[in-house]
Each structure stands twice: as C-alpha cells, then as structure tokens.
Amino acid sequence: MLLLWREAPCLPTMRIDGKVVLITGASEGIGAACAAEFAASGAKLSLTARNAEKLRAAAPAGAFTVTGDLTNEAGRREIVGRTLDRYGAIDILINNAGAGTYEPSWEMPLEDARYLMELNFFAPLALTQLVVPGMRLRKDGMIVNVGSIGGKVTLPWMTVYSATKYALGSLTEGQRMELRRDGIRTMIVCPGYVRTRFQQNVLRGATPDKVRDARRYAITAEACARSIRHGVEREARTVVAPRAAWLLVIAMRLFPSLVEARMAEMNGTA
C-alpha cells in the first residue's frame, strides 16, 4: 500500500548562529545565495570556488575564502585543512558545487561523463570523508548535498547529470543511516528550475526550447537558499525547492508513462 504524507511543520532544532559552515561552489548562484543566507543567520563561513575573483566578490563580509579545485585531492585537503586552521571545526558542510551538460548519453564522450561524476558525486563523497571524523568526535554535524529534481525524476535532456544526482541522493540516504548513532544528520536538496547561470555554464550542448520556456516558473537562488537554511534548522531529510516540484515526483511514481511521454516531448524526442 502506497502512503503519501507531508512532513509536519516543526520548530527549529538546529541553531545556525555560531556554526562553522563550509560551502562549495560559493562564487555564484545557489552557493553565493547560501553564503548570504547563512551569514545573515550568524554562521561562520568558509567559502570555496575555483574563480578567486568571483568568490571574493560574492563573499559576505567576514567570510573566509579558499580558492580550489574540488576534483583534485590536494585541493580538497587544502580547503578543509585551511578551514580547520581558521575555525577549529566544521559543523555543516554544504556540497553545492556541480556542473551539467545537455549532451545525449548515447553520444557523450566518456571523459565528460567521468568529469560530471567526479565533480557531482566523488567530490562531495571525498569532502564528507574529510570532515566526518571531526563531527564524529563531537557527536554533532550536518552534511547537506545539493542535488537536483533530476535526482528524483530523470531529465532526458540531462540524463547523465540526472544519474549523478540520483547517486548523490542515494549516498545522502545511506550516510544518514551510517552516521545516525554519531549524531550526524544528512540532507539532500533537490532544486527545480532556479534562476542562475547554470544553463550558461554547462559543459556542452544547448537547452531544448521547451525546457528553456519553462524558465518563467523558476524560483530565485535566494528563495532556494532560504529553503536550504530552513531545512538545516529543522534537520530535514529532503528539501525540494520549490515545494510544488513534489507534484512532479508524485506524478512520476503514479503515472510514469504519461510523465515520460511529456518529458520526451519537451526534449524534442517524442
């Protein structure tokens, strides 16, 4: 029997004020909006991105910044190490950095697919492995992985990207159970259409026209960041932003053939 329910509203259980928050991909978009949102809530920020100039411009006053490449082990260790040197702990890790591509899976160069998996999945996994030991010692911490609605409903114009986000969601759920007794929480964030430069920053390909037209339904990066902050405060398991995107997830479970046909049409392959 399939049971559908909505999480009951609850009072905040995690205080952000004074917490050390490491945010990746913080130079623009959702990452930069999260930096502003968590700074306004009193967090101590460590921000990282590859572009030093953009990172400095986006960083709120007082934030600590480290430029680095998350697909490089030495870069990851430097980011975490310098954050620990500065603050002594990392309370909340927000794995936001990621990339996408509009290449069809059946003709995508494997090096592109491997890069997407490296950045969207292996980098969050590696960063988690670096910060969890300290969290376990303190019996407290939270891992926030920014996935995509494509990690709940596969987007045929971004099939491999969706696959990386499905993997990230599964990782988040498994780690929640692994780390439960250590007092560490995990949360997956599934943004829908958000007004960022994501489409301009994709590795290859162009947005299908009907997908681009849906941009009028997009939410702002700031709205998404507020949803993430609220999710952290209430220690949510999953955040979907906007919440209306849950309807697509439910529709895919109940009427998969209809949703797949509509998605194929949007992709121009119906």
The catalytic residues are 161
Lookup: tokens for 266? 């949007």
Lookup: tokens for 152? 């709940």
In the block, residue with structure tokens 């949510």: 236
CA 230, CA 239: separation in Å to the nearest integer?
9
Q: Is 238 helix (H, G, I), strand (E, B) or coil?
A: strand
Q: Is residue 33 within 8 Å of residue 222, measured between CB atoms? A: yes
Region of residue 155 (phi > 0: left; psi between -120 and 50: alpha; otherwise: beta): beta
- Could you tell me the CA-to-CA distances from 90 to 83, 123, 151 in Å, in that order? 8, 17, 26
Residues pairing with 93 in the sheet: 22, 143
Q: Is 21 helix (H, G, I), strand (E, B) or coil?
A: strand
DSSP letter string over 182-224?
Answer: GTEEEEEEEE-SEESSHHHH-SS----HHHHHGGGGPEEHHHH
CA 135, CA 111: separation in Å to the nearest integer?
34
CA 54, CA 65: separation in Å to the nearest integer?
11
